[in-house]
């Protein structure tokens, strides 16, 4: 227990109506990132949840996932493995596709990103329908990684993204 005052992180997220299109209430994390105490508390709280789990690598998808993933890897003294859009990683990759509202997109991971059995934490800024992180988890399994947990800054509970990830422990700091 720390005596330090904890920030209510949900107060640091800005809601932007009709972005990127009409009817969507966008959760803008940049106001949390701008707040050095809130950003630090976010990373420390996520790290605290997994500090006993011997995380070897943090895996995160571009672009916003890199923000939380890299800081968390640094804090946990783990390696960082970027998952990127097709064509961005320069070496041999595995690929996983996921559904968009219209059509599909795909993510890739380097085939030599880590050894089989490595303890993996997957991180993203926001859990909505779960498609991106589900694809990232499939990539980790192609490399025989041991997914110890999946964590998010924000979870949009009513979109039920957790249902896609029920094989793994899921943790989020802010729920809407």
Shortest Å, Cβ 163 to its own copies:
27
Shortest Å, Cβ 82 to its own copies:
6
Shortest Å, Cβ 43 to its own copies:
5
**Please, which residue, 79 or 131, has the CB nearer to its own copies?**
79
**64 assigned to active site:** yes
Shortest Å, Cβ 45 to its own copies:
13
* Catalytic-labelled residue, pool 49, 64, 84, 162: 64
Q: What is the largest CA-CA distance in the chain?
A: 50
Binding residues for its own copies, rule: CB under 8 A, are: 14, 16, 19-20, 26, 28, 30, 33-36, 39-40, 43, 56-57, 62-64, 66-71, 73-75, 77-82, 84, 87-91, 110, 113-114
**Please, which residue, 98 or 165, has the CB nearer to its own copies?**
98
**Please, which residue, 34 or 160, has the CB nearer to its own copies?**
34
**Please, which residue, 97 or 119, has the CB nearer to its own copies?**
119
**27 assigned to active site:** no
The DSSP secondary structure of the chain, one letter per residue, reads ---SPPP-GGGGPEEEET-SSTT-EEEETHHHHTSHHHHHHHHHHHHHHHTTS---EEEEETTHHHHHHHHHHHHTT-EEEEEEETT-S-S-EEEEEEE-SSSEEEEEEETTSS-TT-EEEEEEEEESS-HHHHHHHHHHHHTT-EEEEEEEEEE-GGG-GGGGGTTS-EEEEEE-
């Amino acid at each position: 227990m720390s005596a330090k005052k904890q920030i209510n992180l949900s107060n640091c997220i800005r809601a932007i109506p009709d972005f990127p299109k009409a009817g969507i209430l966008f959760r803008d994390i940049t106001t949390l990132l701008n707040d050095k105490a809130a950003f630090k508390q976010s990373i420390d709280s996520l790290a605290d949840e997994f500090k006993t789990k011997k995380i070897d690598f943090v895996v995160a998808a571009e672009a916003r996932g890199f923000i939380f993933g890299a800081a968390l890897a640094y804090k946990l003294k783990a390696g960082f493995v970027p998952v990127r859009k097709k064509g961005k990683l320069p070496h041999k990759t595995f690929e996983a596709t996921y559904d968009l509202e219209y059509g599909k997109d795909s993510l890739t991971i380097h085939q030599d990103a880590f050894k089989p059995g490595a303890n993996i934490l997957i991180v993203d800024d926001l859990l909505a329908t779960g498609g991106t992180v589900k694809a990232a988890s499939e990539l980790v399994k192609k490399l025989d990684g041991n997914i110890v947990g999946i964590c998010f800054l924000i979870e949009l509970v009513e979109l039920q993204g957790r249902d896609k990830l029920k094989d793994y422990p899921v943790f989020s700091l802010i729920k809407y």
